[in-house]
Chains A and B, each alone.
Chain A
Amino acid sequence: MVDQPTPLERFVQGILPENPVYRQLLGLCPTLAVTNGMKAAVTMSCAVAFVLLCANVITSLIRNLLKPHLRIVIFTLTIATFVTIADRFLAAYMYQMSKTLGPYIPLIIVNCIIICRCEVCASKQSVLTAASDALGQSIGFALALSSIAAVREILGTGMFFGWRVLPISWPDWVIMVLPPGAFLTFGILLGTVNWIGSYRSEKSGNR
């Protein structure tokens, strides 16, 4: 029996070594859809973090009551409840942002990251471990989203969080804020991350 990782290890694992987007390729819909600006990306990451944390804690609390064949349905319904809360909250306090994000907030329900974390971690671990795992994963998700959004927003509009960072003479690469830019940016970033990873492991292997 392998030693179960401690809460702290779980937290650190989620950020880079097991980054949900770059390493596990989960939750790609929001990753590609809402990353045309930093503001949308940050809001989305916060919403996902909230839902992931709540769903993980609840799943961990009820893990002994779960029936194996019904567990996916239970996970989905738990997630849907919290997504409804997040969606209503955004509509009440950040109306403009909820209009921008549109259907992608409800689509958090079918986001693979959350179901995957409930299944892999929360349904087997204590509340503390599940919560730290959720925090780590959501920080990793936020990092991935902001890295893509930063590239797309800076190259596409010359701005970062709405502030101009490139000179006004910058010819906006409009394609970057349009759908194809999302695929291209993420593809190239993913390749780069893989390259850095393999370079590192080669280096440590040679030593």
Chain B
Amino acid sequence: MSYLIDIILIAVGAALINNFVLYYFVGICPFIGVSRRVDMAFGMGCAVTFVISIAAFLSWTITTYVLMPGAPLSKWIAGFFVPADVAAKIDLTILSYIVYIFAIASSVQFVEMYVRKFYPPLYKSFGVFLPLITTNCAILFACLKIMGNIIGVDNPADAWDLGRSLTLAVFGGVGFTIAIVIMAGIREELDLCDIPKPFQGAAITLVVAGILAMAFMGFTGVDSGLQKALTSQAGASTAENKNADINVGMSKFIIENQPIDENIPKG
């Protein structure tokens, strides 16, 4: 249950509250460049979401098994050359940027080849955008954020697992799609407006993005409210069930009180 809450919070945070484009400013280049028409913007958003998930999977795997201090694979390989206690301390995090960018570039290349071979219509719809994605900051940013949540934590038990990392990546991509599609919709309307000449093109797009970012700031605080709502809901059912100890682990609680959920009226 607490894991599910965690996932929901990460998803909402990545897609709406800390939107990749409007809060972290990553992926601005396609946001300005490819937001002229809604269908193109949607294609770009889908392509980014697709690649970002693959890159997140790769970076999580590489970080956990190769790069981080005491990672299994690097420990095993180093074990052939140095004593075991030295091998356990091998820390390859300094290589992380090079490894990530290489992983992203090659995965984009492979995805492009695979899609071109097996899904020609899909390739036609976002073929142009795929090579561009390598230099999209959003992808590398997601990888770095996942790395920060694996290596940067003090307690090894808090390190993110694959599920959390993928959630961040997929919903980060969804947030990017939302932002770029809204932007494209606004720009289609802007074509009909009489904009002062110096502001035509990128300048007015940025001003509109500023207003959009202001609107997205309205989501600030949704995560803490959501967390409170989700945990208090669980807490309320605890209160109803008098003999349940509050300190019982959440999962055990759910297994024990399975029938109670059926008594709660639906809707």
Contacts and interface: CB of A to CB of B under 8 A. Distances in A.
**Band of interface residues on A:** 35 or more
B101 A76 contact: yes
Contact of A29 (B137, B197, B207): B137
A77 B203 contact: no
Interface stretch (B26-34, B38-46, B167-175, B231-239): B26-34
B197 to A, nearest CB: 7
A170 B102 CA distance: 49
Interface in B205-221: 205-211, 213-214, 217
Contacts of A88: 94
Contacts, number: 123
A106 B217 contact: no
Given A25-B32, A107-B26, A180-B213, A77 B202 contact: no
* Dominant secondary structure of chain B at its interface with chain A: helix
Contact of A110 (B137, B199, B208, B211): B137
B203 A112 contact: no
Nearest to B19: A179
A103 interface: yes
Interface residues of B, number: 42
* Centre residue among B98, B206, B207, B208 by max chain A CB count within 10 A: B206
B227 interface: no
A72 B29 CA distance: 18
Interface string A30-57: 0011000000000000000000000000
Nearest to B205: A187
B145 interface: yes
Nearest to A116: B135
A186 B148 CA distance: 29
11 contacts: A29-B27, A76-B105, A77-B101, A110-B140, A180-B214, A182-B25, A184-B211, A191-B198, A191-B204, A197-B198, A198-B198
